[in-house]
Amino acid sequence: MTVVTATPQALQRAAELLREGALVAFPTETVYGLGASAFDATAVARIFEVKRRPFLDPLIVHVLDPDMLAAVAGKPPAAAQALIERFWPGPLTLVLPKRPAVPSIVTAGLATVAVRMPQHPVARALLGALGAAIAAPSANTFGRLSPTRASHVASMLGEGVAMILDAGSATLGIESSIVAFEKVPTLLRPGAIAIEEIEAVIGPVRRIGEGASIRAPGQLAHHYAPATPLRLIEPSIVPFPERRRAAVLAFQEEFAGYAATRVLAADGDLRAAAAAFFDALHELDALGLERIDAQPLPERGLGVAMTDRLRRAAAR
């Protein structure tokens, strides 16, 4: 495993490794991804092996441009095309009809494929250097905290990755929103684009319910979890004796008595909170305390996506 700064030379070498069937971790605007050539079924299988990810959980395919999109997916419906025009490149994943050339292992046997066009310049440069789509889930051990830095990838996946392209911290810090198109547009996973923004483009969007069948990444009940047990609770009601060996992840305010505290956004800015979200959880997880108490976040904007991640992390 080699961690290298994402220079043009490193990007060319990373593309060579992908062509050879190796795995490369790279930054996106959301989190770091663990990539394989999307059309190399053997390399994609290696993703599942390295992450210890169940094969029933489909992957997101990253594309650079409309030509790459056409190689992996059929014609987008009108609502999907409207979202493409508004949000791509960006942190929005669309579930579209799959082309036969995409290996079934990428889509967990589904007739659809989850696709997004990343905005991050390194991700785009890597796609351009390879000249083909890249299948890439988050570059972490399955079910654990998403990685927002190259160091997170190195500590979790180590020698399972041929190269880690380092371009600093992911700018948004939370995964893409995922929308499917069946009878009506459906939000399968809340993410870095708030549902209010999506509905402003295409009208009402159905929210997927708990226990729904898995049609996209990030839908399993237990996911995005630190190794330290986490509970979703209002810290103000936690008795002081219970705080001494615990950490707290708070939205705006400090809570006395905890062994460690991370405040996501003292000014209440949900975008700033999202950017700091996984970094803060990684830091608290590394302290080896008995528990992390996570404060519920506002159920609006990006607060919906962060609360979704905390609920899944707490679902042991």
Answer yes or no: is pLDDT of 17 > 90. Answer: yes
DSSP single-letter state for residue 207: E
**Sequence letter at residue 314:** A
Domain 230-314 annotated CATH 3.90.79.10: no
**DSSP bridge partners of 102:** none
**DSSP bridge partners of 138:** 33
The span from the CA of 166 to the CA of 28, in Å, is 11
> What is the three-class DSSP state of 29?
coil
For residue 300, what pLDDT is reported? 92
38 contacts 102 by C-beta, under 8 angstroms: yes
Answer yes or no: is pLDDT of 85 > 60. Answer: yes
For residue 246, what pLDDT is reported? 98
Q: What is the pLDDT of residues 56-79, one digit of tens each?
A: 889 999 999 999 999 999 999 999
pTM beyond cutoff 0.85: yes
* For residues 268-282, average pLDDT: 94
What residues have CB less than 8 Å from 278, skipping those under 6 apart?
Answer: 31, 145, 146, 147, 148, 152, 173, 174
Q: What is the pLDDT of residues 119-171, one digit of tens each?
A: 999 999 999 999 999 999 999 998 899 999 999 999 999 889 999 999 999 99
For residue 237, what pLDDT is reported? 97
* For residues 98-109, average pLDDT: 95
* For residues 277-306, average pLDDT: 95
Please report which confidence band the pLDDT of residue 211 belongs to, taking 50, 70 and 90 as the band edges.
very low
Residue keyed to tokens 């991700």: 123
Answer yes or no: is pLDDT of 221 > 70. Answer: no
- For the chain, the average pLDDT equals 93
Stated as kind and residue range, the H or E segment containing 292 is: strand 291-294
Q: Which ranges in the chain are annotated with CATH 3.90.870.10?
A: 2-207
> What is the three-class DSSP state of 277?
helix
Q: Which ranges in the chain are annotated with CATH 3.40.50.11030?
A: 230-314
Which CATH superfamily, name and number, covers 2-207? DHBP synthase (3.90.870.10)
Pairing of strands 177-181, 92-97: parallel
| Closest CA relative to residue 292, chosen from 304, 305, 278 | 278
